[in-house]
A = this chain, B = another copy of it.
Amino acid sequence: MTVDASVTGREWLVEAFGCDAGRLTSVPALQRLFDAAVLDLGLNPVGAAVWHQFPTPGGITGLWLLAESHLTVHTFPEFGSACVNLFCCTPRRAWEWDARLAELLGATEVRVRSVERAYGGIIAPAIAGARA
């Protein structure tokens, strides 16, 4: 299979550690995180974010549908951690994940992985051969 790599989005898979448990159990605090990403990166939400608070000691899950794809967060207050996803189906600069998650969640360590997501379809073998 040869996928057309010229049409490619990017997803950031981010884990934040050492976070402040109070903010990991606060929807307003997590909405501020979402708002900061949207503002800083010029993202375009479609409707409001969806939030769910799990029973103690559970955390919060938030999902926000974007014109660019999606922004999600899952928090684990019992571990002081959060998992964040940002998927943009068009090119966009990386966010300052370390600095912003330190500021907004109190994170002391942040792990960022960035994954290409090509969705431009399959190049027919004859065309793929011509391009090789």
Q: Which residues of A contact B (CB under 8 A)?
A: 1, 3-4, 7, 9, 11, 13, 15, 17-18, 46-47, 50, 52, 54, 61, 63, 65, 67, 69-70, 72, 74, 76, 79-83, 85, 87, 89, 108-109, 111, 113, 115, 117-122
Contacts and interface: CB of A to CB of B under 8 A. Distances in A.
Given A3-B111, A74-B87, A76-B120, 8 more contacts: A1-B109, A11-B13, A15-B118, A61-B65, A70-B74, A72-B72, A76-B121, A79-B121
Contact of A50 (B13, B65, B69, B118): B65
A113 B111 contact: no
B13 A115 contact: yes
A83 to B, nearest CB: 5
Contacts of A47: 50, 52
A83 B120 contact: no
Contact of A87 (B1, B82, B83): B83
A70 to B, nearest CB: 6
23 contacts: A1-B17, A4-B79, A15-B119, A17-B121, A18-B122, A46-B52, A47-B50, A52-B65, A61-B65, A63-B72, A69-B83, A70-B85, A72-B87, A74-B87, A74-B89, A74-B119, A76-B89, A76-B119, A76-B121, A80-B121, A83-B117, A85-B85, A85-B87
